[in-house]
Chain A
Amino acid sequence: MTTVAHDASRGGTSLRDSFRSLGHRLRISPAAYETAQKPLMFVSFAMIVFVGLIPLFAGPGDTLLAQQALYLGLLALSLNLLVNTTGLISFGHAMFWALGGYMVASSYKFSIPIFGNPLFALAMTPIMGLVAGFVIGLIVFRGRELYFSLLTLGVAQLVWAVAHGWQSLTGGTNGANGVFAAEWINAFLHPDRLYWFIFGCVLVCTAMLYVITNSPFGDALRGIRDNSRRAEFAGLWVKRYELTAFMIAAMFGAIAGGLSVIGDTQINSGLVDWTLSTRALIVVLLGGVRFFLGPFAGAFFYLYVFNEVIQRTAMWDTVLGVVVLVVALFLQGGLAGLIQWLCALGVTIRDRLTGRQVEEPVAPMSAAAGQAVHLPDIAAAAAGDGDGKVQWADRALVLDVKNLTKSFGGLVAVNDVSFHVREGAIHAIIGPNGAGKTTLFNLITGLIKPDTGEVVLEGEDVTGAAPWRLVKRGMGRSFQQTNLFWELSSLGNVTLAESAVKDATRKLWGSHPEEITNRAKALLDRVGLGSFRSITARELSHGDQRSLEMATALAVESHFLLLDEPTAGISPAETRDAVELIRKIAHEENLTVLFVEHDMEVVFGIADYITVLHYGAVLAEGTPAEIRANPDVQKAYLGEITEEEVAG
């Protein structure tokens, strides 16, 4: 090695250099992943066919394992709707499996007239799952994030304890054994037919889950996972969407449990305890969360490999633990991620060999490059509101804030604040640091509830109403810190916001209506992001992210925009752009805008009405000219605005 390095320093072509250049040439671009979609689809399809044909060439033992992998995979797949799509980690998903399983088993055991037919009971498991998912969801969604995970574990343990203790119903640890199916799929007489029956059921369920995952509803779930606050300000009733996802996952979990009882001809409390929940999570992890069929890959891997391991060593759980550790730490894409990577590598190698140029995605240019697009007609905007005295008193009230007070402990952050925002105004709230501006914003937008006082939006009392309700009433909000669906594309951000407020995201199949995507594209053009449609929000420059936020706020068809420091943290050049964008759009759309701002140049540049907050209370309000002349304001701002600036 040292000689090689030595050679390199003398300028010769070293081994290391050629390795490095090979590594560089084989660097897998995002485009290669894009191209790899096709071979990946092919591989997936081939795998499905292969799995469907297993009984034709495999022995009974392997066929049974494959069958078990099918329902374990379905359980994991339904769990992945929560874990990956919605970002909820359930530690108790086995409870739905248990409910479905016991439903099928008990129907047989008790020969309840209609339910006496296990296949009918199986057909009822989805309903059981939905109902159970709803009831249990009401409990577990009391907690967020980790609390949610632990609550699911707790409720699952409760379900398990009942299954374990209620001997007369479930049989406890002995459980129930038998052929819980019609004769034609008797597990002992026709194992192959049984396999195909289960394969068919799982295939249908998988197809349904695929459609749901890729529907507008699925988009809403991804948005929630990405940024639930943003989702709420896009008009999504987050809890309801999460509950729905939970119910759907529960439904397919219950079906998987029902199938398992028919397939395994047994159920007992030992089979449905919390290890099954964690097994489902492990299978999801092993298979890879990001690829739709990953959980099945994980289930097959888990069952076949660990079947071998258990036969070879008593320390099988140690082996499993090490595998989980390695995958969790180093192989986050799981098995499917590995296959995906291999396909992309194959594409890259093919392209290099054939000399084909891989199309790089459009690099996100900075806003500076797009300035020409951004710059609106300043003259026109200025002409619109510059001259004639506007009679503000004649305008209708959009927002009427009455005696709002909020204290945190001993600190009164907002103290008896009252003010109006009139239609069509660009209304600024200013005040020194700590004056309570952002708290006031949070009170108005329903993020926190006031101690006393009222918020009236267009004549209706909306004090403490949830953000998504306000959004549906036409209020849009941006945040001091940019708040977007980071992992979604620009177009995805706008589309989701628009779809959400129009309730198009309630659709469990298909895609967003065309008029919504078209309008979203038009909006992106408006704010100058037309060429960045497929770039994820995270990759945009800060100024462009601000523009995207603006487009999102417009997409929800708000006629009343609340902007919290729209120019915070962006460069002076971008600030000018942003200000002009606000002015232009407010003017064209006849929007009412309420904004908080530090930059006095921005405030006096676009505001036509100003409220000054100081120590949580209203110090002054009036037109920019009146505020400039107000001695109290000058005093409060001494040091922030110099005399010259005040004089204009």
Chain B
Amino acid sequence: MTLGYSFSDYVVQIIAGLGTGSVLFLVSAGLTLVFGALRVINFAHGSLTMIGAYVTVSLAGWLGFGNAIFWIVLLLAALVVAAGGLFMEVAFFRPIYRRPLLTQLLVTFAFVLIIAGVIRKVYGARTRTTDVPPFLQGGIDVLDGAIPKYQFFFMAMAVVVAVALWAMLYRTGLGRTIRAAVSDPVLLGLSGVNVRVLFTTVFVIAAFFAGLAGALTTLQGSVGPGLAVDTIIRAFVVVVIGGLGSLSGAFIAAFLVGIAEALGILWVPSASLAIVFAVLVLVLAVRPQGIMGHKA
């Protein structure tokens, strides 16, 4: 353990942590919404993010990654993943909502395996990289260090998505039904809402943001087959710390985890992950239902 970092080092690291946390939020927001409404914890959510990343790599390869094209690629990648999510939910998740927890977990986990194999077949086992669009190249000086521009872009995206999701949940009819599903799916079904369609909608929205997060991840550097598992495990941590089903909890926890991870890299470089899990265990030991979760 080497301490003796300057104040500037900490600030730079914390800002980088906020950037990582932002992408993490995009993934976790969907995961937590899906859990809240469908009561299924989707192991394959990280795999959706991975698909988003690889699709972005392909699209950027064909179309280039210019300033304007970048936005189109982002949207396309997210839409492709949303379409994949639609297929997954309708074909495989619908039959398992009433099955035991173990079946649900293993069915979603089966998709982690299936997607991992297919991606490796298509893209090979080595990591892939894309360019960074011109307007996001370079860094911004902060104290003695520099922070890549895309980190700030991530933060902006996280805030935009958070506001959009909030507005959707609290200002639209769809949002009201989703919130009703989170608090009591059975009652909602009895009150005449088509729960099946609602579940599919929620799942597709979640897949869309997972894909978007995957597309953004490509800016950070390489994309490899380990992305799915890496993403889902950290997203689980975020969602559990924030409280399953809570969007605001996921928002807070994503940044908490991002910062913990970034500081962990300073303190114990070989085990920054350990710090993240230590945070998880600590938070849950104090508040088993998570920061914003409701007591079961």
Chain A residues within CB distance 8 Å of chain B: 83, 89, 91, 139, 142-147, 149-151, 153-155, 157-158, 161-162, 164-167, 172, 274, 278, 281-282, 285, 289, 314-322, 324-325, 328-329, 332
Whether A89 lies near B107 (C-beta < 8 A) is no
Known contacts A158-B278, A165-B274: A325-B92 contact under CB 8 Å: yes
CB of B169 within 8 Å of the partner chain: no
Give chain A nearest CB distance to B277 CB in angstroms.
Answer: 4
Residue of B nearest to A327 (CB): B106
Consensus secondary structure, chain A interface: helix
Which listed residue (B41, B111, B277) contacts A146, Cβ 8 A?
Answer: B41
Residues of A within 8 A of B120 (CB): 314-315, 317
Cβ of B117 under 8 Å from chain A? yes
Pick from A142, A321, A328: contact of B114, CB below 8 A: A321
A-contact 0/1 string along B87-123, CB 8 Å cutoff: 0000010011000011101110111111111101100
Bound Cα distance A258, B98 (Å): 38
- Whether A321 contacts B277 in the complex (CB less than 8 A), given A143-B284, A165-B271, comes out as no
Beta-carbon contact of A321 and B117 below 8 Å: yes
Quick check: A139 and B273 within 8 Å, CB to CB? no
**Which residues from chain A contact B113 at a C-beta distance below 8 Å?**
317-318, 320-321, 324
- Distance in Å: Cβ of A340 to nearest Cβ of chain B: 19
A146 to B104: give the CA distance in the assembly, Å.
11
Q: Which residues of A are found within 8 Å of B280, using beta-carbon distances? A: 154, 158
Interface string of B253-277 (1 = CB under 8 A from A): 0000000000000001011011001
A289, B102: Cα distance in complex, Å: 10
B288 at the interface (CB under 8 A from A): yes
Query: B288 near A322 (CB under 8 angstroms)?
Result: no
Give me 25 A-to-B residue pairs in the complex whose CB atoms sit less than 8 angstroms apart, sorted by A's number. A83-B102, A139-B281, A145-B101, A147-B289, A149-B101, A151-B281, A151-B284, A153-B233, A154-B237, A155-B277, A165-B268, A165-B270, A281-B106, A285-B106, A317-B114, A317-B117, A317-B120, A318-B117, A318-B121, A321-B110, A321-B112, A324-B106, A324-B109, A325-B110, A329-B92
The 3 closest A-B pairs by CB, nearest first: A318-B117, A165-B271, A321-B113
B106 near A282 (CB under 8 angstroms)?
Answer: yes
Q: Does B34 contact A (CB under 8 A)?
A: no
The chain A residue sitting closest to B113, CB to CB, is A321
For residue B240, which residue of chain A has the nearest CB?
A150
Closest to B118 in A: A318
On whether the beta carbons of A274 and B233 are closer than 8 Å, the reply is yes
Bound-complex Cα distance A316 to B120 (A): 10
B253 to chain A, nearest CB (A): 13
Task: From known contacts A314-B121, A321-B117, infer whether A167 and B270 are also in contact, taking CB-CB under 8 Å.
Answer: yes
**Cβ A328 vs Cβ B110 within 8 A:** yes
Known contacts A147-B289, A154-B240, A315-B121; decide if A321 and B111 are in contact (CB<8 Å): yes
Note all chain A residues with C-beta closer than 8 A to B92.
325, 329
For B114, list chain A residues within 8 Å (CB).
Answer: 317-318, 321-322, 325
Q: Is B236 an interface residue (CB 8 A)?
A: yes
Q: Are B277 and A158 in contact (CB under 8 A)?
A: yes
* B274 contacts A161, C-beta separation under 8 Å: yes
| Residue in B95, B113, B121 with the greatest tally of chain A CB atoms within 10 Å | B113
In the assembly, what is the distance between CA of A320 and CA of B109, in Å? 11
Residues of A within 8 A of B112 (CB): 321
Residues of A within 8 A of B273 (CB): 157, 161, 164
Q: Which residues of B contact A (CB under 8 A)?
A: 35, 41, 92, 95-96, 101-103, 105-107, 109-118, 120-121, 229, 233, 236-237, 240, 244, 268, 270-271, 273-274, 277-278, 280-281, 284-285, 288-289, 296
- Residues of B near A320 (CB, < 8 A) are 113
Chain B residues with Cβ under 8 A from A157's Cβ?
A: 233, 273, 277
Residues of chain B lying within 8 A (CB to CB) of residue A147: 240, 244, 284, 288-289, 296
Q: How far is the CA of A229 from the CA of B92 in the complex (A)?
A: 32
CA distance A165 to B113 in the complex (A): 26
In the complex, what's the smallest C-beta–C-beta distance from B279 to chain A, in angstroms? 10
A319 / chain B contacts, CB cutoff of 8 Å = 117
Given A150-B41, A314-B121, A318-B114 in contact, is the A164-B106 Cβ separation under 8 Å? no
Q: How far is the CB of A238 from chain B (nearest CB, A)?
A: 15
Q: How far is the CB of B291 from chain A (nearest CB, A)?
A: 13
Contact of B271 with A278 in the complex, beta carbons under 8 Å: no
CB distance from B201 to the nearest CB of A (A): 22
Q: Is the CB of A317 within 8 A of B116?
A: yes
Q: With A147-B244, A150-B240, A318-B117 given, is the CB distance from A162 to B274 under 8 Å? A: yes
User: Closest approach, in angstroms, between the C-beta of A269 and any C-beta of chain B?
Assistant: 11
Contact A142 B285 (CB under 8 A): yes
Q: A150-B236, A165-B268, A314-B121 are in contact. List 18 more A-B contacts (CB 8 A).
A: A142-B285, A142-B288, A147-B288, A154-B237, A155-B277, A158-B274, A158-B277, A158-B278, A164-B273, A274-B229, A278-B109, A281-B106, A318-B117, A318-B118, A321-B115, A324-B107, A324-B113, A325-B114
Closest A residue to B102 by beta carbon equals: A89
User: What is the chain B residue whose CB lies nearest that of A326?
Assistant: B110
Chain A residues contacting B278 (CB-CB under 8 Å) are 158
- Which A residues lie within 8 Å of B102 (CB)? 83, 89, 281, 285, 289
